[in-house]
Amino acid sequence: MSTVIAAVDAGAAAGDAVALAAQLAGACDAELLLFAVHPSPRVPLPEALRPTVPPRAQLEEAVRELAATAASAADGATAPPPTEVVDDRAPARAIQQRAELAPAAFVVIGSSRRGGRGEAAAGRIARQVLDAAPCPVAIAAEGLRDRGATLGQVLVGVDDAPEAQAALDVAARVAAATGAELRLVAVAEDELAPAVTPIGEVVQLAEWEAAVAHRRTHAEHVLAAALERIAPQVPDARGEVRTGDPAEELAALAGDADLLVVGSRRWGPLARIAVGSAGEELTRGVPCSLLLVPRPSGDG
């Protein structure tokens, strides 16, 4: 059985991560694991040099309470999910290593405090995990635990890149398992590189209109293929084509969604995440939970 790892701490956002992780675990029939890292050095340091961190016992108690809350939210039908607390000076590295060991279907992290009410924004540790995560990584929207983690609508950005295909497959699986509405969006970019002329950089209006029209036509074909691809799983999925900046368009539509799923390009080790430009923009804050899916192993 695969595992969904909720990366937690003693902060308020940990409950949001557990709430979303429980939903994803149910969607893929996986075990939920609450995993916490106590950021203490492996080599004892003089007291004057020790970083100021909560005592390990305090963190362990917080994790146990989160597990009990998760069991209660499941109507007490199951025992509290397993928990682990480890010591490591590099929390992101510890999370990545645990995800590889599991192996994890998803890693879920709470939102940064920089995000607004109801938003998902990646904090420092989340960004570090994203840089080399071996599986999809979700950032739970702030306050999700209080509002309830039911997934009513899953929004996914589609194009013809391998990472977008992987994101579509994950979104379809989650929507089919949870009964959520699935909404596909293909975005035709409306930016055109200016031409250099003796009088400066210009963009001919006719050239811009033709380029955007071509991109919309291509996006329509991509969307039709994507809807056909997931029809056996989610026959009532709907889709639309938008024109503009992909990150801005997806963020604007995310206000009506509970989970935004996007593909993420990677460079380096196979099947790992490297956040691309659109994904990087979205990690700064979107009005729902965010799930980034890496390109499948074996694709260039």
Angle among Cα 283, 284, 289 to the nearest 5 degrees reads: 50
CA distance 133 to 99: 8
Same fold: 1-149 with 150-288 = yes
- Mean pLDDT, the chain, rounded, equals 86
What's this model's pTM, rounded to 2 decimal places?
Answer: 0.88
Q: What is the pLDDT of residues 68-92, one digit of tens each?
A: 999 887 765 678 999 999 999 899 9
Q: What is the pLDDT of residues 42-63, one digit of tens each?
A: 556 566 655 555 688 999 999 9
Q: Compute how many other C-beta atoms are within 10 angstroms of the C-beta atom of residue 274.
A: 19
Q: What is the pLDDT of residues 247-256, one digit of tens each?
A: 999 999 999 9
The CATH code of domain 150-288 reads 3.40.50.620
Give the pLDDT score at 3: 96
Q: Residue by residue, what is the 3-state secondary structure of 213-238? A: HHHHHHHHHHHHHHHHHHCCCCCCCE
Q: Which fold has domain 1-149?
A: Rossmann fold (3.40.50)
Q: Where are the domains of the chain?
A: 1-149, 150-288
* Residue the block writes with tokens 């099947």: 271
